[in-house]
Structure 1
């Protein structure tokens, strides 16, 4: 039987924050004024994240995750999968990071994936020109031309942030990492800047394996690379990071989302294009149903996923008043997008920061890959009953073709049959030869006839809604929004389901057989599939403090009463309340607490 312990433990009442040398001597209430600095120190100390290649002086734009960071990242990813994929029957793929040039050329990334860059004439450091102008003026610079940015750099006397030197005229810099496949340099390629293209080129293969199920959602979680010019925002702007996205393919003739009623009354805070085009960034509060009705959000599927994203971030610990959706202007949107919203979170140091994006990609990507490869990526849509339709059919004359083209007859006949019937009909009526590919074909080498054809269905090119999430930004956001202070002690109040470690097991003291029993309890909990750590170093109060900083929801203390009645103390991280629980039901008790929260029994 589980029973409560009335008071907060003596260790919690007397233990002051760990005196680790890396901690500032300032009271935490003063340190919390610079939450990013406090969070970064805590993240390094407890093993969440730190800058890459530290012993070589570090390298901006890269981040290493420690043991707890990897654990939290995994929990965020798995929560995302449950929230967006599993509940809708969406599937997941994994594709290469290295992507051939021809794929990204077809998708438009080779031409469009670039940022404006300026170079200091003195120290030769290079920077994002639009970001420097934005920092100096407060203007929204995304989508500005090189000429506009250059004029503002001069007009506002923007100088090099490193040495104060003069900045040169902006020029474009491709932000994809370029490489070659193989030893000869004949096959150029790039590190993928997004996971989406791997999904698009595999669309028809996945559709086939899913037995033509439609609409269909295809997801990918993996590493992407962006060769940022001057990343200066710590864990927020990275050159290598993990992305979670999925592409929802739907019939543009049937755009309605069957799940929309589930979120119809969810209120979203939206900074719409209409407001931004007038020079303001006032957010409107609008329910999902109204946003779709008024075409604030053009695609019902996008509106549905935006509402889910708000709920997902709430599960990570971010309340609704610190979330908003920021619509991109046409000049700011990616080349493939008809409408884009950034899901932004208000962070302590960087203000409103994008953690996810929602792009209505229409049929852009599939159409571009069809044009580049000749592969038919359309989806077959059957009619309820077959239909008769008059069509113009091209019939090559093999006999006449053979007289002119001989062994090439088969190839030319195939080209003729795929050509435009109206073009060939006009040539036939005029009795003029026609150019087909690299061949000039006389009009007596083909006929164009009209016939009734029975059709069982039609083919269409799907439209696509893409929700895309940056994992490292979500991880940082989760840490910032769950970092709290209690009686000048630091507590990382992670939601229980997200905590990388669910419980810590402590022997009260390291003698009298308590260590042995604590190890047995620890191993039993591991065998039950729980994420548990064992800690016997230092006083029990200091161990509680370490676990609180690491976000561990529960502390399991093995004391002298354990040796008598086989019960343990279960301590709640957030309230510091305690209760005693028999070892025999400890695993099930922890599972229940993780699912429902810590409720001290009456």
Structure 2
């Protein structure tokens, strides 16, 4: 089969999830954690090929983003104090909607339950309509009218009315945007209950997804296992800015484990409680969101699902270039668009099927109030469209809230070529009066007042003017504090500034590595048409767990030295390989490594003893070429690490018609 034919087979074939899971678990890509003790839902261990595949994906990610974009990588702690996540909003808002079965105690995630039930009904409706057509078509041939009538009646009981089908489709298109109250109304209206027993469920209520813990032996310092890797980057902003010689824009990046106490993790690797994330925080001037390299990606065509399309109840994407999307303000700005295009290129590089990738814009009630724009990179799997990457313009929210809480400035200072006059609120303190009034707390009160934001100073000025005093609270001091005009003066003054001070905005691409990996598993999995029992994982060579299977034709002692010599050459080139000198047929050896996604096989036969030549096999097409060991390894290196095609990489090697690979 040609590469195009193989790609067509992979794109159009319906995934048999049971077969894929059997291969992934049977070859120990991953397995349920604590399996000997019955396992814990949402926790998995990666085996040797899974670890290698994940490491290769991370290596590509690091080179594609950190190295190519000159980012600053940090590795921050996974334990996070309560106050940090209280300030960021996670303590109050990092929740999903759960509902409980009154009788069994079983817990469901509300939006997923509604989605699964409605999708199942639509699937049943589609099947019923097909059966109804068949029944009507065969009506003339069926002499038993009563039997035919009963059959049609049974089918019509499953079939949905056209307006109901339309309602379901519109709900599914907007499923990510519903509040808990709205989900409860949908469950009641469409009789969505326990999918097994049919019993009704309690109304959805918020469940915070973070794992809480105590830091230190006293248990008094509350903390959480981090739900994301972003907060460490925000808190280290000043250090990163200084490291970057105070120049903006710049980006930081972090790769590490995060934790979410999922309500009902039932979708394998797609919804787990411990997972690997890779996140970028790109800090830029809020008045200039252009990107110097945007011209390089502007012609990249992608499938977009804007919020307006979703609100209309449709899931039909719009295909356009990222340049056009930014120009028309479908995507808010160049830097956001640049990263969306770079995300797409990364996903395609590691093996995502382009026809199963789209970018979905957040609905208005789904997007954070501070965000300027937000898009999810979604990949289609047998579970439906899955969010695998988020790319958001988070404005200045994160740095602002942490700055306000800690009273530490998280800003960029930019020297102005031409001084400018600006109006700013300023506060003057009569410090000699603070000591007698506040005693030991005087420094805390002064620090609080001197760190008020411009908006806070304006509000306090209005309060002082209206009430002739201000009332406020300071952390660490009990009760309300009062000050009148004898202690403070708050005025708006015109000043000449030589330095512009601003809180940078943040563009945040956030990657769920485990979800991406599983999606690539599905997109790469297929069965050979001539033998459906033979499964293949068509990983790109760059991310395949092992690149080469070294196959001596037999265990004859004369082949051993050549096997050792080629192994030495592969090690010197840092090309991962495995030797399979088992006694089974060469076809079986190749077949079981096709399941591991190994892209190349080198066969050593008795002709190798005479002239040093070996055979190179390509996994997908099973094409084979012949040449010296040095030339073969050179071709593998070029195809794997330099992106050369099979035809280009092997053009100087001789075609080879092999012995049968029949298993």
TM-score range for the pair, normalised by the shorter chain length = 0.7 to 0.9
Q: Contact conserved, 1:337 with 1:362, CA < 8 A, in 2?
A: yes
Query: How far apart are the structure 1 equivalents of 2:605 and 2:300?
Result: 49
Q: Quickly say closer, same or farther: Cα 1:336–1:220, change in 2 above 3 A.
A: farther
Match of 1:205 among 211, 215, 239: 239
Q: Contact conserved, 1:246 with 1:466, CA < 8 A, in 2?
A: yes
Aligned to 1:342: 376
Aligned to 2:249: 215
SS in 1 for 2:615: strand
Q: Contact conserved, 1:40 with 1:50, CA < 8 A, in 2?
A: no
SS in 1 for 2:45: strand
Query: How far apart are the structure 1 equivalents of 2:224 and 2:488?
Result: 45
Match of 1:566 among 596, 612, 615: 612
Aligned to 2:629: 583
SS in 1 for 2:247: coil
Q: Once the two structures are superposed, what CA deviation does each residue of 1:537-595 show, in whole Å capped at 9, x if it has no partner?
A: 12222111122221111111222222222222222222222223323455433212323
Q: Quickly say closer, same or farther: Cα 1:162–1:456, change in 2 above 3 A.
A: same
Q: Quickly say closer, same or farther: Cα 1:337–1:61, change in 2 above 3 A.
A: farther
Q: How does 1:87-126 map to 2 (within 5 A)?
A: 87-126=68-107
SS in 2 for 1:80: helix
| Stretch deviating more after TM superposition (519-528 or 115-124) | 519-528
Deviation at 1:52, TM superposition (A): 2.3
Query: How far apart are the structure 2 equivalents of 1:327 and 1:447?
Result: 47
Aligned to 1:492: 537
Q: Quickly say closer, same or farther: Cα 1:473–1:255, change in 2 above 3 A.
A: same
Aligned to 1:9: none
Q: Contact conserved, 1:362 with 1:463, CA < 8 A, in 2?
A: yes
Greater helix share, structure number: 2
Match of 2:519 among 469, 473, 477: 477
Say whether residues 1:455 and 2:497 are aligned partners: yes
Query: How far apart are the structure 2 equivalents of 1:471 and 1:408?
Result: 49
Aligned to 1:465: 507
TM-score by length of 2: 0.79
Aligned to 1:278: 312
Higher relative contact order (CA 8 A, sep 6+): 1
Aligned to 1:4: none
Name structure 2 gaps, 5 residues minimum.
Answer: 1-8, 119-167, 474-479, 655-663
Deviation at 1:362, TM superposition (A): 0.8
Aligned to 1:540: 586
Query: How far apart are the structure 2 equivalents of 1:43 and 1:365?
Result: 39
Aligned to 2:62: 81
Say whether residues 1:384 and 2:417 are aligned partners: yes
Q: Contact conserved, 1:328 with 1:340, CA < 8 A, in 2?
A: yes
Deviation at 1:273, TM superposition (A): 1.1
Q: Quickly say closer, same or farther: Cα 1:75–1:120, change in 2 above 3 A.
A: same
Q: Quickly say closer, same or farther: Cα 1:189–1:449, change in 2 above 3 A.
A: closer
Say whether residues 1:359 and 2:392 are aligned partners: yes
Q: Contact conserved, 1:496 with 1:597, CA < 8 A, in 2?
A: no
Match of 2:546 among 501, 513, 516: 501
Q: Once the two structures are superposed, what CA deviation does each residue of 1:337-386 show, in whole Å capped at 9, x if it has no partner?
A: 33221111222x22222221111211111111111111100111110144
Aligned to 1:42: 23
Query: How far apart are the structure 2 equivalents of 1:160 and 1:405?
Result: 61
Deviation at 1:396, TM superposition (A): 4.2
